[in-house]
Structure 1
């Protein structure tokens, strides 16, 4: 069986939702996945082309009055099985975080404590804003959770993001106290 990259599996997963067009896929990514998995338009369309070429999805062109034609993608049985097989495999590695604030802090002896405090304060503010965004997303998902089979799983991933963000905020507060 051919091995695909995680972006391909992410798009296969998105096609299990009501997202059918490249635009709708990007909208879902920007509203939910973007907090932990980034995919650009430049990745979406080439990946959709591969998915169709490999028989994992079909594409249908729909036309609407006063709108340009739109390609809509539908998973095939092969696409569903490919996604299922990937979902059931254990993860290959724990993700490695690339974090600019940690990189700067690692070399903090080369800058003033005031600059470090400013950096950490700004980072903490950004994290607090992110946490508020997560709360808003959680509220929106919770409203429809009984009507959406995916909502439960979306809330699981959101809970992870909230916990990680809260821990990072607490780390910032502790580090700032020590400085």
Structure 2
């Protein structure tokens, strides 16, 4: 049985994988992160997949940093992932380019302006994807990108072109 089969069973609710119930429920008061991290470290791959697909915000926050790319991918497939979590991932300069690609391919997430801005400013975002969102940014953000040293040269050059096309007004 491969990981996708396990994920399909978890989503369908037909799996026999057990995960501590407190990690599945969204609660305002969660277990301490150190304890959560220790619990996750001793879990097997199938348990981590279930937790990634069904876990609460704290569990997702830990699993998005898991060394296994597959686990990180399943975190993004969790139906309870919020736009705020996606923005944090998109801003993270150590984020995996596969995660950034998944975020940029989702219309639901890229409807959010902050997600698009985070993707364009993250140097790990694949260049064609970052360029795709550049023109949809506000003029003040494009001007800032044109002057920024923290983005790729191609993004800065394209931002300068967009600023010149729109004219010198605004600052």
Report the TM-score, using the length of structure 2 for normalisation: 0.22
More contact order relative to length (CA 8 Å, sep ≥ 6)? 1
TM-score (norm. length: structure 1)? 0.21
- Hey, which of these two has a bigger chunk of strand by percent? 1
